[in-house]
Structure 1
Amino acid sequence: MPRIAAPTVQEHHERVLAALIDAAETIMRSGGPGALTAAAVSREVGIARNSLYSYVRSVDELRGLVLTRHLPPWLAAVDAAVAGRDDARERLLAWARGNLDQAARSGHGWLMGIAREGALPEQLRRELADVHAGSDAVTGAWRELLGPGRPADLALLVAMTHQLVDAGFARLDAGDDAGAVTEGVLAALAAVIDARVGPDR
């Protein structure tokens, strides 16, 4: 039986898996998603390559576990930023700020690069889509601002909101100052809101 470095086999398994996820993140942050291979992560952790598959089924699964570490906290932080705000205008601005804050903390381009590199579980793909689409938060806030009915420009305004935040993601990925990027995106979004419904809504 292999020697374990923990009081129980389960704890040993959890420790090694955590070390594998740490190593995978380190490798991808420094070398890009393509640098993650079974050989590279096994070497980083100090286990035999074939032992890797006692902890994960594939390198894609390991990539997904790294994403799982970052995406749920991202989405929870954005939800928390929006929660409790009765004013729809403030919810839109909080949603944009929350996403940009998380992109600055976690590295949007790095996370999206992981997602593009290989197969991911469907749940993770939905969570990635939520980062960009804003789930129902953006649409709901715009509906409230625009009033009853279904204004013809609802879809356009929702798309513009997403695109402004995506532009902020791109500038953060390019290395621009996070504070300046956030300020610029929020000013642009506020201008769109004010132009459509007025500054007092």
Structure 2
Amino acid sequence: MTLIALPGVYIPRGDTAILGGALRRERLPEGARVLDVGTGTGVLALTAAMRGARVTAVDNCRPAVWSARLNALLARTPMRVLRGDLTSPVAGHSFDLVVANPPYLPSPAHALPSSGPARAWDAGRDGRAVIDRICRDVPRLLAPGGVLLVVHSALSGVESTLTRLRAAGLTAQVTERHRLPFGPVMRSRRSWLRGRGLIAPGAQTEELVVIRAERTR
């Protein structure tokens, strides 16, 4: 599909494609309620809406909200796009499926960026500033049998994600692993990552994982 990405909005890349594939393979009940957390251009939300789901998309970035709304109009596909911090705009609601492609790259900066495109990828020194919030907040939004699909880098601690989701009462497992070449951001901080022992000397690729977590009935 043709997508509009206003300035400052994350342009879908390999991680989006990986999560989109997992979304397309996930079985959805008729009229499924789907939430896309951190929607960006809205491509994942649109993927679900085109399957007949009732979709809510959330992003804290104003240009992302407008990008997603414009893309829904272009695709002539109905979906609700809300502005707010992660799951706060949908507190008290429940969903059959939640998809999330959060910021997950470890960053030399201690503080999270408050503006600019880096908000889409920088996630604190351990890369978990947003992932941990998803692990905490999303389980309470899942209906019985509801599923969370989240993608992130193996550099951000796969076992930590699994442990937190299981502690929240979900069954969680890694369903996909993919190796992708370093992008510009990873290449720019290769020395810092190597100094922290997160990548090996000469590393040129990172592993991305899709984690599927389900609230059992």
Normalising by the smaller structure, the TM-score range is under 0.3
TM-score (norm: length of structure 1): 0.25
Structure with the higher fraction of residues in strand conformation: 2
Larger Cα-atom Rg: 1
Structure with the higher fraction of residues in helix conformation: 1
TM-score (norm: length of structure 2): 0.23
